[in-house]
């Protein structure tokens, strides 16, 4: 029962272009969503989050979009940089439980 | 500022041996603490969480256990390791009612 899904295991983009990472969820009780970035052999680093009362949140080069009707969120990175190459996890939670449910991750490669 | 420590960084243990992984958080009081496992090519799976000293909730049945002997110390243990216990173990903390969780550097456990 995969409540949070990242259907693309990998993504490759050219430096300077936009990276779009996608995430779908099934549980309508989720009301808070987060994106994490992870380098090999390190713990995930929190990137950006969004509450279900919003449809967009922006922080520098990172923007998260939430489409509640489609149960879909995406992370846009503009412009992409080689240092952005990492595994990106989306996560969701219901404020009732406070437990984060993670997707499987998408490996982003940004080519110079 | 808050920091989270995990040790050891890597561990190779034979099947049937005991396990003890330690996590400590600095710079905060009464954090929520979490243990996750990331198996190869998969997302993060929540194993245990704790909202206070001596309060442990288990998310999945397994031969692992967790304890919180002090406010900022979280320990993951096993009496007898299985091959399937191999993975990357991550400790995380969050502040009170905040949803963002912050991860430690992780422990790579290989059971042989």
| C-alpha pair distances (Å), A30 with each of A24, A68, A112, B39, B103 | 11, 10, 37, 24, 21
CB contact under 8 A, B99 and A105: no
- For residue A97, the distance in angstroms to the closest alpha carbon of chain B comes to 10
* Cα B7 from Cα B73, distance rounded (Å): 12
- For residue B55, the distance in angstroms to the closest alpha carbon of chain A comes to 16
Chain segment A26-62, per-residue pLDDT in tens: 999 999 999 999 998 899 999 999 999 999 999 999 9
Interface A:B, Cβ pairs < 8 A = 51
Characterise B96 by phi-psi region: left (phi > 0), alpha (psi -120 to 50), beta (else): left
Average pLDDT over residues A99-103: 91
Chain segment B18-37, per-residue pLDDT in tens: 999 999 999 998 999 999 99
Q: Does B107 touch chain A (CB under 8 A)?
A: no
CB-based contact B66:B55 (threshold 8 Å): no
Chain A residue with CA closest to B34: the answer is A99
CB contact under 8 A, A100 and B46: yes
Closest CA to A47 of A56, A38, A55: A38
């Amino acid at each position: 029962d995969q409540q949070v899904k990242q259907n693309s295991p990998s993504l490759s983009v050219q430096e300077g272009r936009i990276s779009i990472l996608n995430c779908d969820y099934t549980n309508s009780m989720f009301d808070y969503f987060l994106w994490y970035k992870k380098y090999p052999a390190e713990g995930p680093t929190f990137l950006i989050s969004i509450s279900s009362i919003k449809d967009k949140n922006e922080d520098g080069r990172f923007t998260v979009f939430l489409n509640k009707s489609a149960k879909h969120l995406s992370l846009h990175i503009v412009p992409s940089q080689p240092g952005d190459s990492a595994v990106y996890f989306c996560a969701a939670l219901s404020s009732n439980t406070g437990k984060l449910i993670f997707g499987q991750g998408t490996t982003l490669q940004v080519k110079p | 500022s808050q920091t989270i420590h995990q040790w050891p960084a890597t561990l190779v243990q034979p099947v049937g041996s005991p396990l003890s992984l330690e996590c400590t958080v600095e710079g905060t009081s009464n954090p929520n603490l979490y243990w996750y496992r990331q198996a190869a090519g998969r997302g993060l799976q929540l194993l245990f969480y704790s909202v206070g000293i001596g309060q442990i909730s288990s998310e999945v049945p397994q031969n692992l256990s967790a304890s919180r002997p002090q406010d900022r110390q979280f320990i993951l243990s096993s009496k007898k390791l299985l091959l399937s216990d191999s993975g990357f173990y991550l400790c995380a903390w969050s502040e009170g009612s905040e949803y963002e969780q912050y991860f430690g550097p992780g422990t790579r456990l290989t059971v042989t």
